[in-house]
Amino acid sequence: MKARVQVMLKTGVLDPQGEAVRHALGALGFDGVEGVRQGKLIEIDLAGDDPEAAKRQVTEMCEKLLANTVIESYKIDLN
């Protein structure tokens, strides 16, 4: 089973890297880019095949290491 964890800065936390990318896109002539936010995608290969157990395990991974919940939110997709 594969878990994909998307980690993003929380809404309301200024994302300086996303802002820099937005400026760069504007400089390249892309009009109408109103906002850019940059995050991380983490893929995890899991041995088990129980989605419930995997969800619990990956949630714990996010809380303990993969995301810093002071500034980041996370989303887990399993397949």
How far apart are the C-alpha atoms of 67 and 37, rounded to whole Å? 16
**Please, are residues 9 and 39 in contact by the beta-carbon 8 Å criterion?**
yes
- Cross-strand partners of 73: 8
- DSSP type of residue 3: E
Q: Which of these segments, 7-15, 28-36, 48-56, binds another protein (CB under 8 A)?
A: 7-15
Task: Name residue, tokens 């002539």.
Answer: 29
* Amino acid (one-letter) located at 44: I
Q: Does 13 bind another protein (CB under 8 A)?
A: yes
> Which position among 27, 28, 47, 70 is part of the footprint of another protein (CB under 8 A)?
70
Of 20, 33, 41, 53, which one interacts with another protein (CB under 8 A)?
A: 20
The verdict on 17 binding another protein (CB under 8 A) reads yes
Q: How far is the CB of 38 from another protein (least distance, A)?
A: 10
Interface with another protein (CB under 8 A), residue from 27, 28, 47, 65: 65
